[in-house]
Amino acid sequence: MTEVTGKTDPIQSVALSDDGGSVVILDQTQLPNREEYLTLTTAKEMYDAIYYLKVRGAPAIGICAGYCVYCLARQSGSEDYDAFLAAFRRAKDYLNSARPTAVNLSWALNRMEGVVLAQRERPVPAILAALEAECRLIHEEDIAMCAAISRHGLTLLKDGDGVLTHCNAGPLATSRYGTALGPLFLGWEQGLRFRVFADETRPLLQGARLTSYELRRAGIDVTLICDNMASIVMKNGWIQACLVGCDRVAANGDTANKIGTSGVAILAKHYGIPFYVLGPTSTIDLRCPTGDNIEIELRPPEEIREKFYREPMAPSDVKCYNPAFDVTDHRLIAGIVTEGGICRPPYEKSLAALF
């Protein structure tokens, strides 16, 4: 177990290998007990890393996707543009099928494809060089984005506040400060002290395994709670704000995030606590009118019945409904914090204004 250091130097969760031929990730499924890095070289390894949440968090998935499709493009071996483009698109479509809800996956892959199309008159080696520059730029932009979101989000908090989080949107899910956790790390560096209550976030426990791990590592006061305890800590007056991330934001401000987020927002509304969503503009999908248009990923039933248990904790043949995300109605959201500033209702106008 990592010792509490009082530092906010986050672990690098995604990187391009030194030789540029593979992607190196911190396997988040092994945390908090083991810090294991994986080297992804084949398309199947890359797909599995995304699908099985070895790399997770919308921005981190986007960063990883950019690096992955670049590495696969290097493997195509074709000097003919049309053949190169066809191979690129096969790799892109395969990676894009790993997880449907997080828009950053398709966003990053489409951005990389745009480079290939824009460079069509150039030789393949020049296209590969442009792809490498673009995937590195996606990562660099994410670091700057996290810093900006953290600054804007910090204006919503004051010293001594109690903050409730759900799932994980820290450095592991992004880069540097993270999104929803970013204001907490930045405020800590500035001498502010918060009391954080982290929902465990069933069924995959990202709050317990990752959020509490990151905050404790930085020395920030964090208390882990079960998901069904959010109401009582709010009723006790211990929460002054809720900060959550997002995987997709519809044009009307509805947001998709880890399952259970909508319930937190409903409770916060009841207790008069502001509920904020923090995420980059790359998660905003203006082509998606409302949350009803967001495809919700369904996960295997084994994650409910037996994952993390020594033996199954439910009948082996019981039916399971295991959505990975839910959609929070825009009317429950006090503000959507992006690198471009804080959007307020009506979101149709404030979100569109960012672009």
Shortest CA distance to 268 belongs to which of 241, 291, 236, 244?
Answer: 241
Catalytic residue among 161, 227, 247, 326: 247
Specify the long-range contacts of residues 26-32, CB closer than 8 Å, at least 24 apart: 26/55, 26/172, 27/54, 28/53, 28/54, 28/55, 28/56, 28/172, 28/206, 28/209, 28/210, 29/53, 29/54, 31/172, 31/209, 31/210, 31/213, 32/1, 32/2, 32/209, 32/210, 32/212, 32/213
Pair 335, 342: CB distance under 8 Å: yes
User: DSSP state, 30?
Assistant: G
Side-chain half-sphere CA neighbours of 259 within 13 A? 14
- Residue located via tokens 């177990």: 1
Q: State how far the alpha carbon of 269 is from the alpha carbons of 231, 273, 348, in Å.
A: 11, 6, 21
Instruction: Read off the amino acid at residue 165.
Output: T
Pairing mode, strands 341-343 and 335-338: antiparallel
Pair 58, 173: CB distance under 8 Å: yes
Query: What is the b/e burial string over 4-23, where b = at least 16 CB atoms within 10 angstroms of the residue's CB?
Result: eeeebebeebbbbeeeeebb
Is position 142 annotated as part of the catalytic site?
Answer: no
Residues recognised as catalytic: 247
